[in-house]
Structure 1
Amino acid sequence: MLDIATRVYNHKWKIDPIVRSLIDTDFYKLLMCQSVFRNRPNTHVKFSLINRSTDVPLAELIDEGELREQLDHIRSLSLSRGESTWLRGNMFYGKRQMFRSDFMEWFENLRLPPYHLERKGDQYELTFEGKWHEVMLWEIPALAVLMELRSRAVINEMGRFELQVLYARAMTRVWEKIERLREVRDLSIADFGTRRRHGFLWQDWCVQAMIEGLGSRFTGTSNCLIAMRREVEAIGTNAHELPMVYSALAENDADLAQAPYDVLSDWHDEHEGNLRILLPDTYGSQGFLDRAPDWLAGWTGIRIDSGDPATGAESAIQWWQSRGEDPSSKRVIFSDGLDVGKMEDLQAQFAGRVQISFGWGTLLTNDFRDLVPNDRLAPFSLVCKAVSANGKPTVKLSDNPEKAMGPAEEIARYKRVFKVGVQESIDVIV
């Protein structure tokens, strides 16, 4: 097994670049990219880094030159022959040739487009502009670079024995969590921890621990490179990015109200009935379900990614029942700020009522809380979002107003169009 502490102590970025491959990314980014490539190829989008944890001064912790080196390295990457063969020939969700030949030919020749980096006070402004299907692939590697450079800034001050103890404690913490999860009946869990991981080597170690500790109850990882190397399933469907951009492109309020369903119509056509998991919370889950066309009730399940997860699942159950569907045949995927205690509670509450899955993210791949003085390795909330499409601002409301984003006047308009009332604020953990 890899000695992570020694590797970290000895590492140089050219030996251990933070992002090793264009498929060192989440599977859903590639699925969405193919859909955008087909349906919205001429849309111009801007992505921007957003540090919700303003108490973490990234520009003071991370050297700008080192950040540029890492970003420039990513721009040099292209698909290897083995990676292309895996994407073209592997079976995903029971389907071969998930990725079409025209998309793969484009992807095999892709180099990521330029970035814009500027220091603003104690934070960095990092943006990407261009064709949607090109710039969207910056999101995950950009987050991974910032998160790991912050980790390295702290770790570089530590000696070899300190690092051995740090990783021994972190490994023990992960394994103790896995031991608790072994006791959860009918567990189904995947790694969703790429975007805010401590580092690539650590995420890979966590996946291996889950494979050994949980066996078939570990269903796979969202990280394509790790899925390929460890021969596990690549897990993912779609994200808020799609309805945010489609909605920004709407010409009027009526088109805006319809935009989230247009996304899913295109998605259904793209995947011929596969990957039918709803993500309803972009502009409020309850309103989305209330206005949803009947054909969406026949989809496989729903992902709960903001707000109170139990409330979200209860709403989904009631919705399925009201549409004549059997909730026990549907899947609810919980994916927001999960840790073991919350997963234990949700499994106990909904066992037998729905099929339950967990997408375990940051508190799997970056739980270094309280392991160094002043908690300087604690995970923090960093996102990279589409902020405009064809020059028009994007908006996200969420089921938690703490996650809302967009200009104030546009947020007010979206709340009116989507009939979003008073929402309960919940602390954003990660």
Structure 2
Amino acid sequence: MVDIATRVWNHRWKIDPVVRSLIDTDFYKLLMCQSVFRNMPDTKVTFSLINRADHVPLARLIDEGELREQLDHIRSLSLTRGESTYLRGNTFYGKRQMFRPDFMEWLEGVRLPPYHLERVGDQYELTFEGAWPEVMLWEIPALAVLMELRGRAVLNDMGRFELQVLYARALTKLWEKVEVLQRVEGLRLADFGTRRRHSYLWQDRCVQALIEGLGEKFVGTSNCHIAMKRDIEAIGTNAHELPMVYAALAETDEELRAAPYKVMADWHEEHDGNLRIILPDTFGSREFLENAPDWLAGWTGMRIDSGDPVAGAEAAIEWWRARGEDPRQKLVIFSDGLDVDKIVELQKRFSGRVRVSFGWGTYLTNDFRGLAPDDALAPFSLVCKAASANGNPTVKLSDNPLKAMGPSDEIERYRRVFGVAPQERMDVFV
């Protein structure tokens, strides 16, 4: 087992680059990339970094030269022979050859496109522009780099013994959470923590703790590289990026209204079983479900990713019932800002009513709250989202208005087109 504190003390990032593999990313990125490669390979998309936590001055904490060095390193990465063999030959979600030969040939030759980095006050402006299948692969590694470099900036001022104590306390905190979850009957939990992790080594340590501590209750990780390394399931379906870009390409209000369902139709053609998971909240969950075609009710389940998770799951149950589906046969995946207490609460409330699963993210792989002076290692809300497609701005409404993204006039247009009712504001921590 790696001594993380000693590795941090040595400060040799060339031994431990933040991102060490092209598949050190969330599995759903690769699934979506294949879909985009098939359906919209020539669409030009721009991704932008958004720091929702202004109190974290990234440009003062992170040296620009070191950041560029890490980003340049990512651009040098390509699939290794072993990684290619894993993706081509492994079984994912019960399906062999999940990734088509033409996509794999493309992926084996891909390099990430250039980035644009500029300091603006105490923050960095970081953008990526290019063909959608290539540029979308920047999102997860870009977030991982910034989160880890921020952590390294804090750790750099600590002594060797202080680092040992810090990681011992963090490991104790992690294991105490595992011990609580051991007592939860019927639990199904996956690691969703790549994008805002403390570090690659810490995410890997968290996965090892879940493997040992939870056994069959731990169903896998979203991190494709760690899944390969630890011989566990790679978990992931699709994300808000797809409907955001599809909607930005719509030329009329009618096409805009239909865009989220066009995404689902394209996904339906490509995947079945547990990959048919609805993510309804991009432009408001209530409005999405009210206007959804009946065939979507036959999908396997739904991911609840913003707003009140109880209200979201209750709405999903009623929606299935109204369409003649048995909610007890459906899968509900909770994935927004989860920690142990919320996981226990949601499992207790919905067990037996639906099949419940959890995607545990930031508070699994980056919960150093209270462990460093001035809480300098506390996680914060950092995202990298598609900002435009073929020159048109993208919009995300979410079920929480504080998570809305896009130009204000476009946000209002989308609210009108999708008929989004007033929404409850909820604090965004991660």
Q: Same fold (TM over 0.5)?
A: yes
Counterpart of 1:149 in structure 2: which amino acid? L
SS at match of 1:283: coil
SS at match of 1:124: strand
Match of 2:187 in 1: 187
Determine the C-alpha separation between the residues in 1 that align with 2:335 and 2:426: 15
Contact 2:301 2:330 in 1 (8 A): yes
Match of 1:46 in 2: 46
- 1:220: Cα distance to partner? 0.2
Determine the C-alpha separation between the residues in 2 that align with 1:373 and 1:142: 26
Match of 2:123 in 1: 123
Match of 2:325 in 1: 325
Q: Map 1:70-81 to 2 at 5 A.
A: 70-81=70-81
Determine the C-alpha separation between the residues in 2 that align with 1:429 and 1:311: 19
Match of 2:65 in 1: 65
Structure 2 unaligned spans of 5+: none
Determine the C-alpha separation between the residues in 2 that align with 1:160 and 1:110: 40
- 1:11: Cα distance to partner? 3.1
When normalised by structure 2's length, the TM-score is 0.99
SS at match of 1:266: helix
Determine the C-alpha separation between the residues in 1 that align with 2:100 and 2:168: 44
The reply on whether 1:315 has 2:347 as its aligned counterpart is no
- 1:272: Cα distance to partner? 4.9
The reply on whether 1:258 has 2:279 as its aligned counterpart is no
Counterpart of 2:68 in structure 1: which amino acid? R
Determine the C-alpha separation between the residues in 2 that align with 1:48 and 1:284: 22
Match of 2:24 in 1: 24
Contact 1:249 1:392 in 2 (8 A): yes
The reply on whether 1:237 has 2:233 as its aligned counterpart is no
- 1:421: Cα distance to partner? 1.2
SS at match of 2:275: coil
Q: Map 1:3-402 to 2 at 5 A.
A: 3-272=3-272, 275-402=275-402
Structure 1 unaligned spans of 5+: none
SS at match of 1:281: coil
- 1:214: Cα distance to partner? 0.1
Contact 1:268 1:274 in 2 (8 A): no
Determine the C-alpha separation between the residues in 1 that align with 2:7 and 2:147: 18
Determine the C-alpha separation between the residues in 1 that align with 2:258 and 2:427: 30
C-alpha distance after superposition, 1:115-139 (max 9, x if no partner): 0000000000000001000000000
Contact 2:273 2:300 in 1 (8 A): no
Moved more, 388-397 or 271-280: 271-280
- 1:321: Cα distance to partner? 0.2
Counterpart of 1:160 in structure 2: which amino acid? R
Determine the C-alpha separation between the residues in 1 that align with 2:356 and 2:270: 26
Moved more, 268-277 or 8-17: 268-277
Counterpart of 2:111 in structure 1: which amino acid? R
The RMSD of aligned alpha carbons is 0.6
Contact 1:395 1:404 in 2 (8 A): yes
Counterpart of 1:361 in structure 2: which amino acid? G
Determine the C-alpha separation between the residues in 2 that align with 1:54 and 1:145: 18
Contact 2:246 2:263 in 1 (8 A): yes
SS at match of 2:261: helix
C-alpha distance after superposition, 1:234-293 (max 9, x if no partner): 000000000000000001000000000000100111225651000000000011001000
Determine the C-alpha separation between the residues in 1 that align with 2:402 and 2:170: 29
SS at match of 2:302: strand
Determine the C-alpha separation between the residues in 2 that align with 1:50 and 1:354: 35
SS at match of 2:281: helix
The share of aligned pairs that are identical, in percent, is 77
Determine the C-alpha separation between the residues in 2 that align with 1:42 and 1:2: 43
